[in-house]
């Protein structure tokens, strides 16, 4: 059963401007430690690649926060929600701490799609709940 759907489009130029204005502090606020290491490596090779990486993560976390219905309220925080990748390259949501516990307690599962072009990054997230969780059956309305 679908628990929630979230989508987000992010202007890469806004992310670039935030990085220019605030430096690494902006990335450090949005990215988990693992994402931050990847961002730094990509930025070192080609700064634009780092900007797009940050924009896609920002967009994905926004879409996820909308799909779970919390927005950026506890237990949802930028750094407890991480965008990882399977060996195939498929993006996945990796949760930490209280957000992980909140998500698991509701028997939720997330599906994520992320894309970017020159000026925009976009994400779509569907969160589903296992049938029967919290006494909800497939026939409930």
Half-sphere exposure of 64 (CA within 13 A, CB side): 30
Could you report the per-residue pLDDT of 13-71, keeping only the tens digit for each? 999 999 999 989 999 999 999 999 999 999 999 999 999 999 999 999 999 999 999 98
Q: Lay out the sheet containing 108-116: strands in order across.
A: 2-11, 120-129, 108-116
pLDDT in tens, 15-26: 999 999 998 999
Distance CA 13, CA 21 (A): 12
Q: Are 63 and 81 in contact (CB under 8 A)?
A: no
Cβ(70)–Cβ(3) below 8 Å:
no
């Amino acid at each position: 059963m679908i628990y929630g759907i979230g989508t987000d489009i992010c202007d890469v130029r806004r992310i670039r401007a935030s990085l220019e204005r605030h430096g690494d502090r902006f990335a450090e606020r949005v990215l988990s430690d693992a994402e931050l290491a990847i961002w730094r490596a990509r930025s070192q090779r080609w700064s634009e690649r780092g900007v797009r990486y940050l924009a896609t993560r920002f967009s994905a976390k926004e879409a996820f926060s909308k799909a779970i219905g919390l927005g950026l309220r506890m237990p949802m925080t930028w750094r407890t929600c991480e965008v990882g990748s399977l060996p195939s390259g498929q993006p996945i949501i990796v949760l930490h701490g209280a957000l992980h516990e909140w998500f698991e307690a509701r028997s939720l599962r997330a599906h994520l799609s992320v894309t970017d072009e020159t000026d925009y990054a976009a994400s779509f997230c569907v969160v589903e709940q296992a049938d029967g969780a919290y006494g909800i059956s497939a026939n409930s309305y």
